[in-house]
């Protein structure tokens, strides 16, 4: 990688007008595919895994919440006394 940058600097010193053409060619043909392949794709797949993890955690929380609320409401309704004993 440093060798390529060194070559780019040499070309820029020799022919400044040709530097931009060589740099753009290096950037789009050598550097960008490397970044996409070795950094972009793993980050994309890690993002997919994180999305599944957050979705799974949310679903688990919802199921636990619904089960808890079912038993809470069931216990509240069936154990409550709408006609309490009168205080004497």
Per-residue pLDDT of the chain (88 residues; tens, 9 = 90+): 567 777 767 666 667 667 777 788 888 898 999 988 899 999 999 999 999 999 989 999 999 999 999 999 888 877 777 777 766 5
Q: Domain range for residue 25?
A: 2-79
**Per-residue buried b or exposed e for 10-48, using 16+ beta carbons within 10 Å of the residue's own CB:** ebeeeeeeebeeeeeebeeeeeeeeeeeeeeeeeeeeee
pTM value is: 0.51
Count structural domains, the chain.
1
pLDDT (0 to 100) of residue 21: 79
59 lies in some domain:
yes
pLDDT (0 to 100) of residue 50: 93
85 lies in some domain:
no
7 lies in some domain:
yes
86 lies in some domain:
no
């Amino acid at each position: 990688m440093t060798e390529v940058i060194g070559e780019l600097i040499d070309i820029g010193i020799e022919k400044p007008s040709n530097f931009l053409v060589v740099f753009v060619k290096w950037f789009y043909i050598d550097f960008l595919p490397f970044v996409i392949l070795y950094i972009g794709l793993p980050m994309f797949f890690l993002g997919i895994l994180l999305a599944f993890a957050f979705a799974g955690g949310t679903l688990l929380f919802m199921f636990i919440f619904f089960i808890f609320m079912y038993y809470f409401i069931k216990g509240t309704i069936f154990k409550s006394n709408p006609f309490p004993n009168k205080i004497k």
